[in-house]
A and B are shown apart, each in its own frame.
Chain A
Amino acid sequence: MSPTRKRTLGLFCWFALIGAAIRPIGPLEASLGVVLAPLGLVAELASPLWILRGPEVRAAERKLHATRREEARSGEELLRALAEFATPRDPELVRGRRLVHAEVVGRGDGGRDVIRIRLRDARGIEPGLPVVNGPVFVGRIQKLEPQADPAGGGFAEVELVTSRRFHVGARVSDETLGVEVDMTVGGLDVGPRGASRARIALAVQNPSDRALTSGTAVVHERLREMDPYASLAEGYLLGSVRREGEEHWNIEPELDYLDGLFHVVVLATPDPGLPSDEPLPQALTDSGWRKARPLSHGDPSPWRETVSVAVGTTHGVQPGAALAFGARFVGRIGEAGPWSADALLLGDVGLNVVAVARFEGEERPRVLGRLVSLGRDGSGTVRMRAGGGEPLSLEPDGSDGRRLAHLFTGSGDPGVPSGLYLGPARVPVGPGAEEPGADRVLRLEGAPIGGNLRGLWVRTVSAGEPLEAAL
């Protein structure tokens, strides 16, 4: 080959590398992950550095070990609180039903309108069974997944009431008119003549009385013979009906269906042989964890905060899985090869996780939505931007318009169990925090530097060990 051709070919390959770097192509990245898998061995070459760093690593780990039991207990309390607020307590809504607790673990193939749940007990669960959060109707079981749960339960997909294909019968008591109006609810309302709206609303169809003005909508199926499980969802809340224009109604929902669903309850047919209202065990105690030996001490690119770990897809580790030290959330898996993976730590710009906050003096956990890391500043504090979540109409505890809270992982992200401790943070609260352009950046204190820790554990999809042993 002539030198000119060689140079042209070289230049072509170089531009192809740049293109593949900026616009990653899924299959190419996956193939590269396999081809470059032996790079884990290169990282092993520097493993004696861990021996030299022994005292430093032990000191950093000792500091975190001191609080690990307290953090695990706080996580357990949070899960208990989430379960309590997700469990229907009205005797009318509980009688004649078996309550099966479940945790939201991600979104299904159907996009935002389908959630994946991990059931406490999959026995007796059938497609079509209603799913609720406290007294609020959420959707129905769409299908059961054959995938085994290392924790002993099972997985299922739930179609939310926001789905375009979803329909449920509803009844509204209009106190102004003094009548009961039946209707069909399901899907999102796009507003009269397609007008955009700031908050989502459920669509209302075919009200039996077109004079309807307002009221609270609850599930009520008129044709119960069409749905064998219709009576189980009877009486559960859908939201408040609003009239918009002459012939247009919608329902303001009681829940944030996108980032506010962590814990749900499936309403099943009672069975004397099966338990009811059994709480979900904390993820730390199930066998869905595996030790993740770090291969590196940090990222050579100073604007990143990552380490390589010696576990990969052959060990049941998937991209997005949580990385923990004791009961503390440390980061998530990025790209995963067969035998090693990149672990993106809390200070890595772009790391994201759904979070729940427990404010000092507040009983109810608050949904913060998705936190995205903006990196660590010079003092070691991790800055995170909150997106979504519920309005935090609370009083600040200082002049900075913020209030101290303890942050935990929520559920909804595959591979990230809820209840792992993130750390204390000062969170913007009050009406100002919800306005457009408001500063929604939290400052997470005490986030550990992952490169100083050896005792890391990663969440796996295959059977592993309980992390509880490390506590």
Chain B
Amino acid sequence: MRSKRSPWSWLVLVVWCAWIYALLGRLAAEPAVRGWVPDLGLVLLLGLEPRLSRRDAVRAALVIGLARAAFSADAPTAILAGTLGAVSVSRGLRNVVESDAALPRAAVTGICALLLGLFLAAVHRARLSAGFGAVDFALPLGTVVRGAAATALASLLVWPLLVRLPGLTPLVASRGSRFA
């Protein structure tokens, strides 16, 4: 299905993502809580995705990925591949489970957060290993798993709020979503 959205709503999405990732960066900088920081950008993406056409879901993945890249030292190519992959995984899982229900949706978001986290951490490790062959950099598995759990929990708690953020309604309105 081809849809036309106002550029304004995409711009609003960029602004919201900028704030989300700025806050996440702030939280992740605190050693005491860094492992438990949920990926709210991913929660927003997977909240919007079922209400968007395939084309717009890909656009949303690119917009949210680029917003994250503005705040992260992870390779932009890895972040974009990760957000696009998350959209594909979410679409694939929705064919198997009813992901509009709260618990399955949280599970899907948690799985996507785990895969995205592992992928980004693995890319970082691969790049480091190319530079320091002699140093063994361990994958931060604990941090990734805790972050995925926090993301799944955040999906349960704040997902209804995130998809109703002011200015995002036009993005999902034309598909007649009950959340619009």
Q: How far is the CA of A42 from the CA of B132 in the complex (A)?
A: 33
Is B158 in the interface zone, CB < 8 Å from A? no
With a cutoff of 8 Å between Cβ atoms, the chain B residues found around residue A301 in the complex are: 28, 72, 74, 117, 120-121, 124
Contacts of B126 in A (CB 8 A): 22-23
Chain B residues in 8 Å Cβ range of A296 = 21-22, 25, 70-71
Asked whether A297 lies within 8 Å of B84 as measured between CB atoms, the reply is no
Contact residues of B between 53 and 111, Cβ < 8 Å to A: 58, 66-78, 80-81, 84-85, 88
A24 CA / B72 CA spacing, docked (Å): 17
| A299 and B71 contacting across the interface, CB-CB below 8 Å | yes
User: Is B39 in the interface zone, CB < 8 Å from A?
Assistant: yes
Whether the pair B135, A385 counts as a contact (CB closer than 8 A) is yes
In the complex, chain B residues whose CB is within 8 Å of the CB of A277: none
- Judge whether B34 is part of the interface by a CB distance below 8 angstroms: yes
CA distance A296 to B70 in the complex (A): 9
Which residues in chain B, 1-46, are within 8 Å of chain A measured between CB atoms?
14-15, 17-19, 21-32, 34-35, 37, 39, 41
Whole-angstrom distance between the Cβ of B92 and the nearest chain A Cβ? 13
Beta-carbon nearest neighbor of A345 in chain B? B29
Complex Cα distance, B34 from A304, in Å, reads: 10
One digit per residue, 1 when the CB lies within 8 angstroms of any chain B CB and 0 when it does not, for chain A 447-460 equals 00111100000000
Stretch binding the partner chain, chosen from A12-20, A245-253, A427-435: A12-20
Task: List A residues 287-303 near B (Cβ within 8 Å).
Answer: 295-303
Docked-complex contact B124 and A43, CB < 8 angstroms = no
Q: How far is the CA of A302 from the CA of B73 in the complex (A)?
A: 11
Specify which of B26, B35, B66, B124 is in contact with A36 (CB 8 Å cutoff). B66
A379 contacts B31, CB within 8 Å?
Answer: yes
B19 shortest CB reach to chain A, Å: 5
Establish whether residues B128 and A350, one from each chain, have CB atoms under 8 Å apart when the complex forms: yes
Q: Is the CB of A45 within 8 A of B14?
A: yes
- Is A380 close to B, CB under 8 A? yes
Check if A378 is an interface residue, CB within 8 A of chain B.
yes
Which of chain B's residues have a CB closer than 8 A to the CB of A42? Answer: 14, 17-18, 66-67, 70
Asked whether A32 is an interface residue with its Cβ less than 8 Å from the other chain, the reply is: yes
Select one of B14, B31, B58, B72 contacting A300, CB under 8 A. B72
Which residue of the partner chain A has the closest CB to B74?
A301
Q: Could you say which of A360-368, A369-377, A412-420, A463-471 contacts chain B?
A: A369-377
Q: Which residue of A lies closest to B18 (CB)?
A: A45
Q: Are B78 and A21 in contact (CB under 8 A)?
A: yes
> Which B residues are CB-close (under 8 A) to A375?
140
Q: How far is the CA of A53 from the CA of B140 in the complex (A)?
A: 29
* CB of B137 within 8 Å of the partner chain: yes
Across-interface contacts of A322 in B (CB, < 8 A): none
Max chain A C-beta neighbours (<10 A), residue from B67, B73, B74: B73
A459 to B152, CA, bound (A): 42
Q: How near does chain B come to A108, taking the closest CB pair, in angstroms?
A: 19
Q: Is A121 at the interface (CB under 8 A from chain B)?
A: no
The interface residues of chain A lying within 8 Å CB-to-CB of B15 are 45
Closest to B23 in A: A49
**Chief secondary structure at chain B's binding surface:** helix
Residues of A within 8 A of B85 (CB): 14
B 134-149 to A, binary, CB cutoff 8 A, 1 in contact else 0: 1101001001100100
Is the Cβ of A24 less than 8 Å from the Cβ of B127?
yes
Task: Give A375's nearest chain B residue, CB to CB.
Answer: B140
Flag whether A308 is at the interface (Cβ < 8 A).
Answer: yes
> Are A14 and B81 also in contact (CB < 8 A) when A42-B18, A49-B22 are?
yes
B123 CB-CB contact with A under 8 Å: yes
Band of interface residues on B: 35 or more
Q: Bound state CA distance, A23 and B128, in angstroms?
A: 11
**Which residues of chain B are within 8 angstroms of A36 by Cβ–Cβ distance?**
66, 69, 76
Residue pair A297, B140 in contact (C-beta under 8 Å):
no
Contact A49 B131 (CB under 8 A): no
Residues of chain A contacted by B77 (CB below 8 angstroms): 17-18, 20-21, 24, 32
| B71 lies within 8 A of A350 (CB) | no
Contacts of B143 in A (CB 8 A): 302-303
A349 — nearest CB in chain B belongs to which residue?
B137
> Which B145-176 residues sit within 8 Å CB-CB of chain A?
147
Name the interface residues of A307-333: CB closer than 8 Å to any CB of B.
307-308
B124 CB, min distance to chain A CBs, angstroms: 7
Residues of B within 8 A of A162 (CB): none
| Contact residue among A17, A303, A344, A449 (Cβ-Cβ distance under 8 Å from B140) | A303
A45 in contact with B30 (CB, 8 Å): no
Contact indicator per residue, chain A 151-173, by CB within 8 Å of chain B (1) or not (0): 00000000000000000000000
Chain A positions 373 through 409: 1 when the CB is less than 8 Å from some CB of chain B, otherwise 0? 0111111100001010000000000000000000000
CB distance from A48 to the nearest CB of B (A): 9
- The distance from the CB of A148 to the nearest CB of chain B, in whole angstroms, is 30
Check B26–A308 contact: CB distance below 8 A: no
- For the complex, what is the distance from the CA of A387 to the CA of B147, rounded to whole Å? 32
16 residue pairs A–B, Cβ–Cβ below 8 Å: A22-B126, A22-B127, A23-B126, A36-B69, A43-B70, A296-B70, A297-B25, A297-B29, A299-B73, A300-B72, A301-B124, A303-B140, A334-B73, A350-B131, A350-B137, A376-B31
Q: Which residues of chain A have a CB within 8 Å of any CB of chain B?
A: 10, 14, 17-18, 20-24, 29, 32, 36, 39-40, 42-43, 45-46, 49, 53, 295-308, 334-335, 342, 344, 347-350, 352, 372, 374-380, 385, 387, 449-452
The 6 closest A-B pairs by CB, nearest first: A298-B29, A46-B22, A21-B78, A298-B25, A451-B29, A306-B73
Using A36-B76, A297-B25, A301-B28 as known contacts, list a sample of 9 further A-B pairs with CB atoms less than 8 Å apart, ordered by residue number in A: A17-B84, A21-B75, A22-B78, A45-B19, A303-B124, A352-B132, A374-B137, A380-B31, A452-B29
